[in-house]
Copies of this chain bind each other. A is one copy, B any other.
Amino acid sequence: MTARLTAWGVTGIPEIHPDDQLGDIIAEACRGEPNGPLQNGDVLVVTQKVVSKAEGRLVPVDANDPLSHKKLVEDEAVRIVRRRGDLIITETSHGFVCANSGVDLSNVERGQAALLPKDSDRSARRIRDIVRARLGVEVGVIVSDTFGRAWRKGLTDVAIGVAGIAGLVDLRGTPDALGRVMQVTEVAVADELASAAELVMGKSSGIPVAVIRGADASWLRESSVRELIRPPQEDLFR
């Protein structure tokens, strides 16, 4: 694995609006970064919110009517997993299990809600392609979102779309340090990278993109976030 990992937030990204070319904006901001130019093998982590905004995934919601939000949540769900009071845990069409189908009212204008991108792998590929074209570097791209967990308090950022970076890295069959064969160690590398990125982006500081330098070369491959989604029939908790 890798010996050293560095993460920083990309400054200078303006408020994003529908039809903005997000890849161009990110490439331009990275060009002026005080941390220096992007390098081959860097991983860009881009929050869902700006992807959804650029892709026009904003819908009106009546800010004074909780039922308006609730209807959106139900419309975006393929399955209600749990419900208690105002809290709704759903499965989305992408296969994500999260609160409120990922429909989000924070960091969007009042009266609007942001839906998840339709296909965040595609969103990630577009950003990667534009960065390659503009800056001549081959990066991995993760679209991240902030999800809750069963059993544990607090939110962590996870990958909802990937391009050029592994979702899972399979260490099954790799001997452990004592030479025994390991049992199951598929590491959710894209989720761990998203979590590391969250730590430098913060929630309220308006930094929607981070760079992570030092990813192991073996992690940089074609992939899909579907690697990270546990099929319902294998899942003991829905």
Contact = CB atoms under 8 A, between A and B. Distances in A.
Interface of A: 1-9, 15, 35, 82, 84, 87, 89, 96-97, 105-110, 146, 149-158, 167-168, 171, 174-178, 180, 182-189, 191-193, 195-196, 198-206, 214-215, 227-230, 235-238
Contact of A152 (B7, B106, B157, B158): B158
Contacts of A184: 155
A105 to B, nearest CB: 7
A222 B196 CA distance: 22
B192 A157 contact: yes
Contact of A230 (B1, B153, B192, B228): B153
A92 B167 CA distance: 29
A185 B199 contact: no
A192 B204 CA distance: 17
Contact of A196 (B87, B105, B195, B230): B195
Contact of A153 (B1, B204, B229): B229
A183 B153 contact: no
Given A156-B192, A204-B171, A177 B228 contact: no
A107 B177 CA distance: 6
The count of identical subunits is 2
Nearest to A169: B154
Most buried by B among A175, A185, A188: A188
Main secondary structure of the interface of A (DSSP, over half): loop
A3 B82 CA distance: 37
Nearest to A210: B5
14 contacts: A1-B202, A2-B199, A106-B176, A107-B177, A109-B178, A149-B188, A152-B230, A154-B191, A155-B187, A156-B192, A171-B203, A174-B204, A175-B204, A182-B203
Contacts of A215: 199
Contact of A154 (B4, B151, B188, B203): B188
A127 B157 CA distance: 28
A204 to B, nearest CB: 5
A223 to B, nearest CB: 12
Nearest to A1: B202
A238 B151 contact: yes
